[in-house]
Amino acid sequence: MSAAGIRKFMEAVAMKANRDEETKRTMREWVGRYHGKIIQFETDPENFYLAVQNDRMEVRPGNNPSPDLTIRAPSKVIVDVFTGRRRFGDAMRSWDLLLIGAGHEAFQLSRVIMAVMLAA
């Protein structure tokens, strides 16, 4: 999967997350008392990031100057991890996936993605 493919995957997740009330609740719980969460993706030839604020998720091009978490990996690895085909720990042990920053935010993002997948 290309970088555009992983970006499109995340755009589809964001679109569905923004429509589903249960997923919005999950995002509100994740953000908590903070203004929002920024998850940077560094994959293949293109970088993009997710901006999560209360009950809204957006995919934005480029780099954020201060992400909570940066996920660096090939697109296929990211999709495999977030769809449950590969475990986070296995991808990290093999150095196929790097989490830079607040790694626990990746698990919260996984909760949102799973909520979207279950709501579909």
Task: Tell me how far apart the alpha carbons of residues 103 and 117 are, in angstroms, rounded to a whole number.
Answer: 22
Mean predicted confidence (pLDDT) in 81-87: 88
24-59 per-position pLDDT tens digit: 999 999 999 999 999 999 998 789 999 999 889 999
Domain 3-119 has CATH 3.10.310.50: no
Answer whether 72's CB lies under 8 Å from 43's CB: yes
- pTM greater than the 0.85 cutoff: yes
Q: What is the largest CA-CA distance in the chain?
A: 37
